[in-house]
Structure 1
Amino acid sequence: MELRHVGGTGLRVSRLGLGTMTWSRDTDEHEAAEQLRDFVEAGGTLVDTSASYADGGAEELLGELLSGPFTRQDVVLCTKAGIRRTADGAVVDGSRGALLASLDESLARLRTDHVDLFLVQTPDPRTPLAETAGALAHAVSSGRARYVGLANHPGWQVAHVATLLAGAGPLGAALTAVEAEYSLLERGIEREVLPAAQALGAGVIAWSPLGRGVLTGKYRRTIPADSRAASPHLAGFVRPYLGAGAAAVVDALLTAAQGLGRAPLEVALAWLAERQGVASALVGARTADQLRGSLAALDLVLPDELVAALDDVSAPALGYPERF
């Protein structure tokens, strides 16, 4: 599998990354082990997880696998913090104490002394960005993380945190990566986040490149009983992409896939892989069979005219000030 630099740094990750959001909840240890085996054997390196996935269960399962049939050196390990569990439910917390405590707990679950990439999972309106940036810098200076970044933050926050980190000088931490949802069904990052990341030398890691599963085409006529849209804890996650607007994009994708003799998800992944600034696309498969379907896209290069057609049908709405 092709390895790509993340932005302007020396960190290299595989073109496709392995997401673990369903691990230990919808994906058991046997399926997870099979997924990780197939991914590593295909040349994949980037494995993405979070302290919030299954309340730490995904990290714990990944840590078990990396101390058993696989080794820590087999993967580029990314985890996220910023959402903590309380008695009243999940709470967003980007404070220094919460982020560093979460990182320490993640390292214990993952059975390692460092992660390759540490991200703040979501914006916290109650914590100053300077404090969040300081926590990221300390994660690097203390050796717990090699690189740091943000996930799901707007463009102005990406730029501000990058500026704060740059103020630490050449030996400090730099904003390495921006993780964001990006697919034919969600191109919102093209308005400000993607241009900001490119201007600042950060690479983009795309999550949900298959439009939360909708770009597989399986929801075109009905909702399969074993799908995420039928799951009690993921139905709301899929529902935004089941409307008429998404259907037009899915229809165009299915037409393109039929013309190429490939699966729709392969075309969707091939389209995203060539977007400027994208270092890796995270595939969060529930089963090993689903992951193998995504790995089949690695040899696909789309014709320019087909890329243009998909660009046109899925183009995000632009207005002032992006277009003046």
Structure 2
Amino acid sequence: MERRRVGRSGLRVSELGLGTMAWGRDTDEIDAAEQVRDFLDAGGTLVDTAASYADGDSERVIGTLLSGKVGRHELVLATKAGIRAESRPDGGPGRVVDASRGALLDSLDESLVRMGTDHVDLFLVACPDPNTSLEETCNALRIAVTSGRARYVGLSNHPGWATARTATLLEPDVGLAAVELEYSLLQRGVERDVLPAADALGAGLLAWSPLGRGVLTGKYRRAIPADSRAAGSQAGFVQPYLEGPATDVVEAVATAAEGLGRAPGEVALAWLLEREGIASAIVGARTPAQLRSSLEAVSLDLPYEVHAALDDVSAPDIGYPERW
């Protein structure tokens, strides 16, 4: 598997990253261990998690693996902070966005304890916090690096203007290494301003949900499988990609896959890995079998005609002021 430089930083990651949002919830420790073994055998290095995944259980599973099954030096660990669980007034589960200095640094310390390591390779702010200034958030990121708890820092799910402002605030000593956003044939919104901004600022893009929340695997073309996310509590997460223009994109991917003798998911990932500015595509498999299918994508070079056709069918609407 190819190792790619993250922007203009010194951080290098595998072109496919291993997402762990399902670990500790839908994926148990045994399956997680098998995923890591397969991932490392294929040349993978980047493992992406967050303090909020499964209320910290995702990081705990990683900690268990690092306690004897996997060497810390084998992994490039990325985690996110800025979202915490909190009960709603009605007693139900809720979440609070908090990118304040105290919240970010406390979360990072707790993540390090759960994973049993003294540092992460990449520390990301999970999403924008309208109640905290970027100056304060950046101060926390600077402390994370200068204290040795994080080697590099970045943003997740932030717009282009916030990316540019953060990069400016972190200059010249710390720098903004990475941005992590949803990017796939079904979601190309990053191309409007975040991707050009990241490129100009020297930050690398980590793409989450590169398989369009699982829809680009083609498994929803005929029906909704009973064991899929769309049939369970995450139905609302998948639903936007099950109708409208997305169906044309899915069919185009399926047609291309049939012609190439490959799986639709492999074609979708191969398209993304060939895009400019992509440091890594993070695949979040629930099972070892799902991961093994995604790993096959690194061996696929799409013919120019196929790549161009997929570009056309999935092209986002870009107008003023991004295009003058």
Distance in 2 between residues matched to 1:22 and 1:43, nearest whole Å: 22
1:254 match: 254
Report deviation, 1:74. Answer: 1.0
2:132 match: 127
2:95 match: 90
Distance in 1 between residues matched to 2:316 and 2:45, nearest whole Å: 31
Report deviation, 1:68. Answer: 1.7
Distance in 1 between residues matched to 2:67 and 2:312, nearest whole Å: 46
Distance in 2 between residues matched to 1:67 and 1:235, nearest whole Å: 35
Report deviation, 1:244. Answer: 2.1
Q: TM-score, normalised on structure 1?
A: 0.98
Query: Residues 219-230 of structure 1: matches in 2 within 5 Å?
Result: 219-230=220-231
Task: State the AA in 1 paired with 2:200.
Answer: A
Report deviation, 1:293. Answer: 0.2
Percentage of matched positions with identical amino acids: 70
- 1:204 pairs with 2:199: no
Task: State the AA in 1 paired with 2:23.
Answer: W
1:61 match: 61
Distance in 2 between residues matched to 1:186 and 1:68, nearest whole Å: 38
Structure 2 runs not aligned, ≥5 long: 89-93
2:238 match: 238
1:145 match: 150
Distance in 2 between residues matched to 1:94 and 1:266, nearest whole Å: 36
2:289 match: 289
Distance in 2 between residues matched to 1:13 and 1:289, nearest whole Å: 23
Distance in 2 between residues matched to 1:98 and 1:304, nearest whole Å: 47
SS of the equivalent of 2:177 reads strand
Query: Residues 165-176 of structure 1: matches in 2 within 5 Å?
Result: 165-166=170-171, 169=172, 172-176=173-177
SS of the equivalent of 1:87 reads coil
1:274 match: 274
Structure 1 runs not aligned, ≥5 long: none
1:78 match: 78
Distance in 1 between residues matched to 2:53 and 2:9, nearest whole Å: 27
> Residue by residue, what CA displacement relative to the aligned partner does 1:258-282 show, whole Å, maximum 9, x if unpaired?
1111100000000000110000000
Number of residue equivalences: 319
Q: 1:105 aligns with which of 78, 103, 110?
A: 110
SS of the equivalent of 2:152 reads strand
Distance in 1 between residues matched to 2:320 and 2:48, nearest whole Å: 35
2:32 match: 32
- 1:42 pairs with 2:46: no
> Residue by residue, what CA displacement relative to the aligned partner does 1:189-244 show, whole Å, maximum 9, x if unpaired?
00000000000000000000000000000001110001111122x11111111112
1:218 match: 219
SS of the equivalent of 1:37 reads helix
SS of the equivalent of 1:17 reads strand
SS of the equivalent of 2:213 reads helix
Alpha-carbon RMSD across the aligned residues, in angstroms, is 0.7
- 64-73 or 138-147, which moves further after superposition? 64-73
Report deviation, 1:123. Answer: 0.2
Query: Residues 10-25 of structure 1: matches in 2 within 5 Å?
Result: 10-25=10-25
Task: State the AA in 2 paired with 1:51.
Answer: A
